[in-house]
Amino acid sequence: MEVLERISFSSLLNRSDVQALLRALLDGSISVLKPVLNQSGDFSYPEAEKIMGSSSRVVREILEALSEESILLKDIFVLTIACPYCGDNRLVVELACPHCDSTRLKIGATIEHLECGYIGFEEDVKNMVCPKCDKRIRALGIDYRKPGIMYRCLSCKEFTGSPRRKYTCLKEKHVFYEDEGVSKEVCSYGLNPEKKDLIGKWIMDLNPVAEALMAKGLLIKTPAKIRGRSGVEHTFSLFASGNNGNNIILVDVLINDKPIDESALSLIFKALDVDASRRVMVFVPGLTEKARALFDYYKVLPNMNIIECKNINEINNMVLDVLDNFIEVSPQIM
């Protein structure tokens, strides 16, 4: 299971699943991500989960991280009550008598005889004769009034218009009352319009590559989650394969606002953990001299291409040039 730790701004925007989500928000495919109550009793963001291919928990954490960076703006969608002991918001609600705490309550329309003070359910007042003093009740507002809907405790016989709400969480069976619950804000998320230009510098669109490869008969996923030999699940910007599922092509892109140092080796190691016929690693706006010297070894591997681009506008053409040459000399990939 993926654990999302506190990560830097650049690492966040370089996640392929995050890029896919932000691209959908940028092009208007999605305007606002609204929470939906799911079958487990929690709120999730199904549109984001579908685009990102991630779990509800990871999606919620990423949305929150993007809002902390002011990439997304959040707005309160609903205020819920959660268990003060375990935080679970899957709750069973019971109404309890404020006098004796019994949950044996009966609800109904009530009537009050003003002369003797009797209060009871209308259904218990037969032929408009007061059950307490046996006098006839005649005129509304003079002889009697109607307090409205009330609750009667079948244990202590008291009436109340405001029973206590008793909650039991389904996770640990904790019991608490409404005034003891923890308020929990559930938010919707939308793109911050002031960040569109900044995002545009980071979000690359590999659709031209995907469409060109599909036209050649390859199967495409973008982004794609692939489990490596180590058992770790990796996310790549693009995955392609022949119809038989073999001859896999992996493309991954790392973008930064300055030349990328040797820390980018993690991208190479990730690619080497997955069996593939061709791996294409793209770095924008390029590598530092120290990183380039370190990466020289990987550049000569027969199934590895390391590409340096000055900006995201160069990515598609440079990736296609590499893959076109590979496909031409590898007809078996089809």
33 and 156, same domain (yes or no): no
103 and 118, same domain (yes or no): yes
112: in domain: yes
Strands (E) across 114-155 are located at: 119-121, 144-153
43 and 104, same domain (yes or no): no
138 and 16, same domain (yes or no): no
pLDDT tens, position by position, 73-95:
999 999 999 999 988 888 999 99
How does residue 10 score in pLDDT terms, banded at 50, 70 and 90?
confident
Question: What was the pLDDT predicted at 1?
Answer: 38
172: in domain: no
pLDDT (mean) for 213-221: 89
240: in domain: yes
CATH code where residue 30 lies = 1.10.10.10
156: in domain: yes
CATH code where residue 297 lies = 3.40.1350.10
134: in domain: yes
CA–CA distance, 232 with 234 (Å, rounded to integer): 6
Q: Give the best-scoring range by mean pLDDT among 110-114, 139-143, 178-182.
A: 110-114
Q: How far is CA 276 from CA 239, 270, 280, in A?
A: 10, 12, 10
31 and 60, same domain (yes or no): yes
148: in domain: yes
CA–CA distance, 20 with 50 (Å, rounded to integer): 10
| pLDDT at 197 > cutoff 90 | no
Considering only residues 328 and 265, tell me which one the structure prediction assigns the higher pLDDT: 265
pTM: 0.65
| pLDDT at 27 > cutoff 90 | no
How does residue 334 score in pLDDT terms, banded at 50, 70 and 90?
very low
317 and 212, same domain (yes or no): yes
Residue with tokens 């244990």: 155
**Domain span including residue 249:** 207-333
216 and 312, same domain (yes or no): yes
pLDDT (mean) for 312-323: 90
pLDDT tens, position by position, 145-160:
999 999 999 999 999 9
Residue with tokens 């079958």: 39
Cα-atom radius of gyration of the chain, to the nearest Å?
32
43 and 130, same domain (yes or no): no
Question: What was the pLDDT predicted at 202?
Answer: 83
pLDDT (mean) for 208-227: 89
191 and 55, same domain (yes or no): yes
Question: What was the pLDDT predicted at 2?
Answer: 45
Would you call 169 exposed, middle or buried from its count of C-beta atoms within 10 A (0-12, 13-18, 19+)? buried
Question: What was the pLDDT predicted at 7?
Answer: 60
214 and 310, same domain (yes or no): yes
Considering only residues 5 and 145, tell me which one the structure prediction assigns the higher pLDDT: 145
Per the structure, how many domains does the chain have? 3
CA–CA distance, 3 with 297 (Å, rounded to integer): 31
112 and 253, same domain (yes or no): no
| pLDDT at 216 > cutoff 80 | yes
b (16+ CB within 10 A) / e for 279-295:
bbbbbbbbbeeebbebb
How does residue 98 score in pLDDT terms, banded at 50, 70 and 90?
very high
| pLDDT at 244 > cutoff 80 | no
Question: What was the pLDDT predicted at 330?
Answer: 54
pLDDT (mean) for 17-36: 90
pLDDT (mean) for 60-85: 93
1: in domain: no
How does residue 3 score in pLDDT terms, banded at 50, 70 and 90?
very low
196 and 70, same domain (yes or no): yes
169: in domain: no
